């Protein structure tokens, strides 16, 4: 009996290292990502400013909204929906553009900044690997920023809907008509699909390239990132009279035709499968992985500027 009673606590203690090992494997990445959010306040401040400006502009536009709704009654249903949806699409587009700009400038300074201010010496003294650090920095433009763009878009569009409903409630305009021609849920699905396919997966090689250059260049990071791309496009055009590289880059920036069902497309539900099995997607992800691997090697060997 005593042998069995003593075995129970030992088995509980024996399972403790497994849980602690899992926690020790995930906590460095978690804190590395939080560090990036702490040190780069523009990641959250920029979309917050865009949200404020968008709401103020839409609030001013609601002054003439009842008159506009009366004018829309003479149009067919498709044109009514297009007119009502337009400011909501514009708001989502602002957040996506902001996300791209913040992601580009963040990547250009991510590895270069810690070498410039010599903080790399402090961070290397901590028990955090270069792989964890680089992956945490890459997750900001590829994962964090698209999620923030989606969240801010949804909240801002809901606020816009409430403002429009309040403006129409005080007039003889039909609020139900406004709501009927505003398929927010379908728009959110299209926005999320667009952010995942284009701003996360398709842009991953671009962000990884910027991180690689940020870890290598000593100064003028933007020029070192842009000049090789321009040089390849110019040499190809002069030597072969073709522009395949420029077309590939444009395809990568836009995400391709299959990644563009935003905001409302009848065939949007048929495109995710084709996009996920497309060779261009996986080639781009392989190139992104190669750039990130090179960035890890650079950070391991680079010294402060």
Return the closest-CA partner of residue 133 out of 305, 298, 303.
Answer: 298
d(CA 100, CA 142): 10
Which of 30-39, 90-99, 118-127, 246-255 has maximum average pLDDT?
Answer: 90-99
The dihedrals phi and psi of 183, each to the nearest 5 degrees, come to: -80, 75
Total domain count for the chain?
Answer: 1
Report which of residues 7 and 88 the model is more confident about. Answer: 88
What is the pLDDT at residue 81? 81
Q: Dihedral through CA 207, CA 211, CA 217, CA 219, nearest 10?
A: 70
Nearest to 99 by CA among 153, 155, 58: 153
Residue 27 in this model has a pLDDT that exceeds 90: no
User: 5 in a domain, yes or no?
Assistant: no
Mean pLDDT across 293-300: 92
pTM above 0.85, yes or no: no
| 270: in domain | yes
Q: How distant, in Å, are the alpha carbons of 149, 257, 275 from that of 272?
A: 20, 11, 5
Higher pLDDT, 15 or 146: 146
Q: Which domain holds residue 207?
A: 31-301
Q: Is the per-residue pLDDT at 101 higher than 90?
A: yes
Residue 6, in any domain of the structure: no
pLDDT tens digits, 268-289: 344 666 777 778 888 889 999 9
Residue 135 located in a structural domain: yes
Residue with the larger pLDDT of the pair 257 and 66: 66
Q: What is the pLDDT of residue 275?
A: 72
More confident of the two residues 261 and 39: 39
Higher pLDDT among residues 252 and 172, named by residue: 252
**Cβ pair 193, 263 in contact under 8 A:** no
The answer to whether residue 169 sits within a structural domain is yes
Separation CA 199–CA 254 (nearest Å): 9
pLDDT of 258 over the 50 cut = no
Q: What is the pLDDT of residue 199?
A: 87
Query: Tens digits of per-residue pLDDT, 69-100?
Result: 777 777 777 787 888 889 999 999 999 999 99
Kindly tell me if the per-residue pLDDT of 53 is higher than 70. Answer: yes
In a domain, 4, yes or no: no
Residue 286 lies in a domain: yes
In a domain, 282, yes or no: yes
């Amino acid at each position: 009996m005593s042998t069995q009673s003593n075995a129970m606590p030992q088995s509980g203690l024996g399972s403790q290292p497994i849980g602690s090992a899992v926690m020790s494997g995930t906590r460095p990445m978690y804190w590395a990502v939080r560090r990036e959010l702490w040190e780069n306040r523009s990641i959250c401040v920029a979309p917050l400013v865009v949200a404020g400006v968008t709401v103020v502009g839409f609030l001013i536009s609601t002054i003439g909204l009842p008159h506009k709704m009366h004018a829309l009654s003479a149009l067919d249903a498709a044109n009514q929906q297009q007119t009502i949806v337009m400011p909501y699409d514009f708001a989502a587009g602002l957040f996506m553009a902001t996300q791209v700009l913040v992601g580009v400038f963040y990547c250009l300074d991510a590895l270069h900044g810690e070498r410039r201010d010599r903080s790399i010496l402090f961070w290397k003294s901590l028990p955090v690997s270069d792989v964890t650090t680089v992956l945490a920095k890459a997750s900001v433009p590829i994962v964090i920023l698209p999620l923030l763009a989606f969240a801010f878009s949804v909240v801002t569009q809901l606020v816009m809907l409430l403002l429009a409903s309040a403006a129409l409630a005080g007039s003889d305009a039909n609020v139900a008509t406004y709501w009927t021609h505003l398929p927010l849920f379908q728009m959110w699905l299209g926005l999320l699909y667009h952010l995942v396919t284009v701003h996360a997966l398709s842009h991953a090689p671009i962000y990884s390239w910027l991180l690689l250059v940020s870890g290598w260049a000593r100064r003028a990071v933007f020029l070192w990132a842009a000049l090789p791309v321009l040089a390849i496009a110019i040499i190809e055009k002069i030597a072969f009279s073709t522009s395949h590289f420029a077309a590939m880059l444009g395809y990568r920036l836009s995400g391709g035709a299959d990644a563009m069902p935003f905001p409302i497309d009848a065939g949007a539900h048929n495109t995710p499968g084709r996009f996920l099995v497309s060779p261009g997607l996986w080639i781009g992800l392989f190139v992104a992985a190669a750039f990130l691997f090179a960035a890890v090697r650079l950070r391991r060997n680079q010294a402060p500027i």
